[in-house]
Structure 1
């Protein structure tokens, strides 16, 4: 059972960064929690799961290939230390019908695993597809509920959006045999010091980006692959950002992975590592009811 605790963090200096290019949707925030007078009110957002007596087998047994590298178990962002010619494949904004399944098939054909940072809204709309990602051995994290620019929200709204996304993805994964991993990426890579510190103190691993494929540009698959490979070769290793919602990404991935293999790269699979006996703490946004005065 996970340990749940309240998290109250004082404000830090805001830091904004540019990232994914997707229209901002800020609906459904009006009904969220309201900031307390003296700070951000937080409490548990997760239901304690019942004890699991058995673990379902994945749909496909893990298999390796020439491109498949090691599994790196991490409990914090600082644990992500890659060797030369090691890459981590990440896919944001899904799952998306007609796109994500094709990407899963390509990854399977090369025997490699990726990390999918799912939107809560997309996972809720496609729960069977979200479970398929997990059952096929990939790591699933969250990416807010509606791809909102968190740097433009109040602290309470931002935390509520993060928790809402985590909750929706977690619920969509129920029955998959593998739950939500404590991995998170800021939409547009737009963050504040307060939010990053809050997540880190909640034992959430913030996944940054080393190589942005910019597959959200209206370029050809060949252009996306060439740009990504050039940036990767210049850096030598790193976390690559793709999106499993674009057809150009579906089309470029087979040739891209073949070229990675030809150039001697390996794909590292990220997996969560428990930080303690009871698992991770959770950043939350729902306040407990006030205690009545005696």
Structure 2
């Protein structure tokens, strides 16, 4: 049994209502669970079951293409009380694209996800993460000016490496213990992540960590957006649905 670093009595922690990235202030022993790139049939639903069994919620940064391909699964994520954000339409490296193409891909992703989630749970939240964490000053500033909450990463599990589930668990725990809190990045598209998550959650519970549920300050999609796109479903000059 690992030594108890913190003194939480329940893995489920507080709900943090966020209107901007500056609002994400975690206390020692608090973590936010995030999952990128889904939803993925055969993987995402098992991750949802594990989260539910441990009484915690996560933030899922979905790809518009995946939400569109698997709409019922995307809706299930939201209906189970998890928060859904945007991760672009097809996971392109936005830093290598023209400004307009990058903004188009972000807007297209938001449109696809918002359409799929219409009426499900809290709908699309304003949370966004750059694929590969690759960004430019222009893109980040544009997101922030559009009242989009950019989610950075404090602890990257690197669950995409071809390693065992235990390797990922030990690396992630080491990094988490060194920081004492933070936003953890997983991906709900890998079997090793499905396999490791129950053990990982048991381990952080044993160490006294609590999982913070991230929610937008105003329910549903809110704020304005400077993102404009010339893509299917989004007319040039009109705001994307963030």
TM above 0.5: yes
Is 1:174 the counterpart of 2:115? The answer is no
Kindly indicate whether the alpha-carbon contact (under 8 Å) linking 2:29 and 2:208 is maintained by their aligned counterparts in 1: yes
Structure whose residues are more often helix by fraction:
2
Structure 2 gap ranges (5+): 1-8, 230-235
Q: Does 2:198 align with 1:281? A: no
**Residue 143 of structure 1 aligns with which residue?**
87
- 1:208 aligns with one of 152, 163, 179: 152
- The number of residues matched between the two structures is 223
CA-CA distance at 1:282 after TM superposition: 2.0
1:104-253 matched pairs, under 5 angstroms:
104-253=48-197
1:129 match: secondary structure: helix
Counterpart of 2:5 in structure 1 is none
Secondary structure of 1:89 counterpart: strand
Give per-residue Cα distances to partners, 1:38-85, cap 9 Å, x unaligned: xxxxxxxxxxxxxxxxxxxxxxxxxxx820000000011111000001
Question: Which residue does 1:98 correspond to in 2?
Answer: 42
Contact 1:213 1:240 in 2 (8 A): yes
Task: Quote how far apart the aligned CAs of 1:288 are.
Answer: 4.1
Deviations 1:18-41 (A, max 9, x none): xxxxxxxxxxxxxxxxxxxxxxxx
Once residues 40 and 203 of structure 2 are traced to their aligned partners in structure 1, the CA distance between those partners, rounded to angstroms, is 25
Q: Would the alpha carbon gap of residues 195 and 125 (structure 1) be closer, same or farther in structure 2, given more than 3 Å must change? A: same
Write the distance in 2 (CA, Å) between the matches of 1:240 and 1:279.
25
TM-score, structure 2 as length reference: 0.90
Whole-angstrom CA distance in 1 between matches of 2:156 and 2:32: 12
1:229-266 CA distances to partner (integer Å, 9 max, x unpaired)? 00000010000000000000000000000000000000
Over 2 Å off, 4+ runs = 286-289
Give the secondary structure class of the aligned counterpart of 1:164: helix
* Structure-2 residue corresponding to 1:41: none
- TM-score scaled by length of structure 1: 0.74
Question: Is the 8 Å Cα contact of residues 151 and 192 (structure 1) preserved in structure 2?
Answer: yes
Q: For the Cα contact (< 8 Å) 1:274–1:280, is it kept in 2?
A: no
Q: Secondary structure at the match of 1:260?
A: helix
The 2-side partners of 1:130 and 1:94 are apart by: 8
More strand by share: 2
Map of 1:53 onto structure 2:
none
> CA-atom RMSD, angstroms?
1.5
Q: Does the CA contact (< 8 Å) of 2:81 and 2:121 recur in 1?
A: no
Measured after TM superposition, the shift of residue 145 of structure 1 is 0.4
